Structure 1
Amino acid sequence: MPHLVLLYTPNIEPQTDMSALCRTLADGLLQVRDEAGAQVFPTGGTRVLAYPAAHFAVADGQGDYGFVYLNLRMGAGRSKAVQQLAGDTLLARAKAHLAPLFERGLVGLTVQVDESPGQVYDGKHSTLHPHFNRG
């Protein structure tokens, strides 16, 4: 972890590069540091996935409104300051990437950070972690 999921109205897709947004958000997560200066999120565990909504309704339906929702899910145990920094980082990077859309139209952006304290199962298998953890 972290896993960042983006849900968005497909009407914004022709106006921005969603793959580039995913990359800039992933890079932002990899730059988050804790109070001791250590990287918070493991490189091999960082995932950003974006999905256009098949069906949507935004506001009153009288315009071509857009919306982007970012939901960051992270494992338990990180400080409130780190959680805030992760959210602030994502918000700043998303706002910068989507700035042209905000200038041209009516678009909403929400960033939500969730911690997963109540996990009852967390099975994993990955060749990514060993690749990035090589000395």
Structure 2
Amino acid sequence: MPHCVILYTPNIEPKTDLGALCRKLADTMLTVRDEAGKQVFPTGGVRVLAYPAAHYAVADGKGDYAFVYLNVRMGAGRSAAVQKAAGDRLMEVAKEHFAPIFEQAPIGITLQIDESPGQVYDGKHSSLHPLFNK
């Protein structure tokens, strides 16, 4: 179930490669381990998707402000330390990726991790997981 959804203001598209950011985040998710050394984000479940906002307003609107929101969904059961470590690592990837923009223009980045303890329905159908569960 691990996913990372990126919502962003489209004014950053000419300044960076968002496809590359998606790949970097996915690769980082694949390296996160829990206290027992077990992979936190199953390979077949890692998905990073990026969407530009069709309409947006940032701050006072008097500048060419950019904003990026990353939301990571994680299944229940990971410790607070593992959640924080995953967030810290993913935020470092985002900060490194957007560092050149920070030098040129105002930009804000928010990364949140949500845990899904109270799901009422979680339907899945995939031929991806069997590729990596061998």
* TM-score, normalisation: structure 2: 0.98
Whole-angstrom CA distance in 1 between matches of 2:77 and 2:34: 12
The offset of 1:37, in angstroms, is: 1.4
The offset of 1:36, in angstroms, is: 1.3
Whole-angstrom CA distance in 2 between matches of 1:38 and 1:130: 18
The offset of 1:86, in angstroms, is: 1.0
1:1-135 residue pairs with structure 2 within 5 A?
1-134=1-134
The offset of 1:38, in angstroms, is: 1.5
Whole-angstrom CA distance in 2 between matches of 1:3 and 1:122: 14
- List per-residue Cα deviations over 1:27-48 (Å, max 9, x = no partner): 1111101011121110000110
Aligned to 2:118, the other structure's residue is in SS state: coil
* Gap runs ≥5 in structure 1: none
* Gap runs ≥5 in structure 2: none
- List per-residue Cα deviations over 1:46-88 (Å, max 9, x = no partner): 1100000000000000000000000001111111011101110
Aligned to 1:68, the other structure's residue is in SS state: strand
Aligned to 1:77, the other structure's residue is in SS state: coil
* TM-score, normalisation: structure 1: 0.98
Aligned to 1:130, the other structure's residue is in SS state: helix
CA RMSD in angstroms comes to 0.6
Whole-angstrom CA distance in 2 between matches of 1:14 and 1:127: 35
Pairs aligned (count)? 134
